Amino acid sequence: MAARSEVLQEWPHFSKEAPRLFAAPGRVNLIGEHTDYNDGFVLPMAIDRRTVVAAAPRQDRKIRVHSRNFNETVLLDLENPGSGCRGVWWDYVEGMAQVLLERGLKLPGADLLLASDVPIGAGLSSSASLEISVGLALWSLSGQPPDMRQLALAGQAAEHRYAGNRCGIMDQFIAAFGRPGNALLIDCRSLDVRLVPMALPGVQVVVCDTRVKHALSSSEYNVRRAECEQGVRQLQESMPELKMLRDIGWKQFLEVADQLPEPVRRRCRHVVGENARTLSAVDALGRGDLGEIRRLMGESHRSLRDDYQVSCPELDLLVEIAGTAEGVYGSRMTGGGFGGCTVNLVETGHLDAFRETISRTYSRKTGIEPGIHVTSPSGGAAEFS
């Protein structure tokens, strides 16, 4: 793990105290996009890229934190927090500390040294990886055994309040609870989790990074959430029992969709359809039905592109190229959208040809060299020696 080597190499120049080491992974969402903040279903897996935190307690009420990725050191005061939403990486660190304090944890001051090999801004949840690794470190330094469910919820609250992103619970939950060899089907209302074995012999999960992030990503995310909430309010006029979009099935939605104006109708249509696709994908994985998985991933991408309108030309191009390559059993955008990554299921014997096709064609058409990462389902946050 490169990030672990980096923090161990740097620590003697940062603190004289012996450190404890913590890590939390990034994630790729196989299917179930923009459903989590609608109390729906998601199917993410933790990836083998992580944020690593070396941590030691301090005697004062300060958190001194250095990021290897940004080559910056800041000093945070637990008694006098900043305003948050400043657009800086330490918003996530301060947010986690303050939320944990508000929830009754007695945190000491701390020296923290961070390094991450989760690509930043690629839609692989580098922010949740940072939140959960830092939160686990601070919680552990307090002397209390960490409650991973509460840690995930604290990470979500920190992102809402200190980063201004009204995200669902998926990213923080998979960072906390990922399991090797498995994706997780998460019910984002009850927070029940079902392990879904990624038992697809001869098939690899490949993440392709557009290496672009359009400025709309953060502002439009909150707009989409507001549009979904508007749809629920309008549907409640004829369906008072409706609480969230997950409470309505596909056939029932088609009967009432005309009650909604555009573009709210399309936003809701995506969410309702995506919930159904996610549950169908779990069944298809259990059967090893790669043809059905390919169909569902294709439908998901088209819905995100046309109904939810969170794709972009670069993402669409990567999906289009993947569709022409041999041995590909599904491709779709993953993450919030407006850039970031696609997730692809690729036959092992065709990996080299897939890499070459994606790299050559995408570079020729955009002038950008894509990032291509073969990954595997990995474990969640943990302390390690």
CB 225 within 8 A of CB 37: yes
In angstroms, the CA 141 to CA 99 distance is: 16
Q: Are 257 and 265 in contact (CB under 8 A)?
A: yes
Rounded Cα distance between 23 and 48, Å, is 11
Whether 111 is catalytic is no
Q: Which residue has the tokens 């890499």?
A: 355
- Phi/psi for 314 (5° steps) reads -70, -40
Task: Single out the catalytic residue among 171, 209, 258, 306.
Answer: 171
Q: How far apart are CA 128 and CA 87, in angstroms?
A: 15
Matching residue, tokens 């474990």: 379
* CA 238 – CA 55 distance, rounded (Å): 54
The torsion angle over the Cα atoms of residues 182, 188, 191 and 195, rounded to 10 degrees, is: -20
- Cβ atoms of 187 and 279 within 8 Å: the answer is no
- Across 71-151, where does the E strand assignment appear? 72-77, 109-116
Helix (H, G, I), strand (E, B) or coil at 251: helix
Q: What are phi and psi of 26, to 5 degrees?
A: -80, -175
Best CA proximity match to 55, nearest among 155, 128, 137, 156: 137
Give the H or E element holding residue 217.
helix 216-235
Q: Please classify residue 344 by burial: count the beta carbons closer than 10 Å to its beta carbon, then call 0-12 exposed, 13-18 middle and 19+ buried.
A: buried
The position carrying tokens 């997730």 is: 343
**Which position has the token pair 């672990």?**
4
Q: Which residues are catalytic?
A: 171
